[in-house]
Amino acid sequence: MGFSIVETYLNGIHLIKADAYEDDRGLFMESYHKDSFAELGITDEFVQENHSISALGVVRGMHFQWDKPMGKLLRVTSGRAHIVEIDIRKNSPTLGQHIHIELSAQDPYQLWVPAGFANGFMSMEHGTEMIYKCTAMYNPKAESGILWNDPALAIEWPVHEIDTEPILSPKDMQAQTLAEWLAKPESSIFHY
């Protein structure tokens, strides 16, 4: 069993491929191994795991936490998710830039997203399941988000591929812009 970094984005996000073994019985893969991840340079400790199930068109995000900063290891276990990550690190050369990656349950890929990125995704199939290991416990007093359609970021969500309008929580619909976040003193917590 093993892992390899397929691609690196925005100075820190890694697309990771796990060795998967398939036969007539199905598929087996190791999704996490502390020593193997350390060989890839990912030494963060995971202290919490979350599992979401989303209907077609649900947008969750763009979330982050500053106390304690939270990195996430994302994996889709059912369906497909269009994942977006925004660099919100004040001193980063890629501040405000974002990436798009589609993960599905059919592929043995995971996405490592260190602290300092706003994370979100759109469910591209009904019943899309996302599991993410976190490097910090959830702290509702120190979590926030960036508006999913912040005009300054021009994120191109694949709404043309689904047969419904995007579905967001009231909290996500009222999130702040990146400029509003960067004006807050706590935004300096993330380091490049």
Q: What residues are annotated to the active site?
A: 63, 132
End-to-end distance of the chain based on CA atoms, in angstroms?
32
Measure the CA–CA gap between 169 and 173, rounded to whole angstroms: 6
DSSP letter at 11 equals T
Task: Return the H-helix or E-strand segment holding 152.
Answer: none
Measure the CA–CA gap between 88 and 64, rounded to whole angstroms: 9
Task: Return the H-helix or E-strand segment holding 155.
Answer: none
Q: Are strands 13-18 and 20-23 parallel, antiparallel or unpaired?
A: unpaired
DSSP letter at 162 equals S
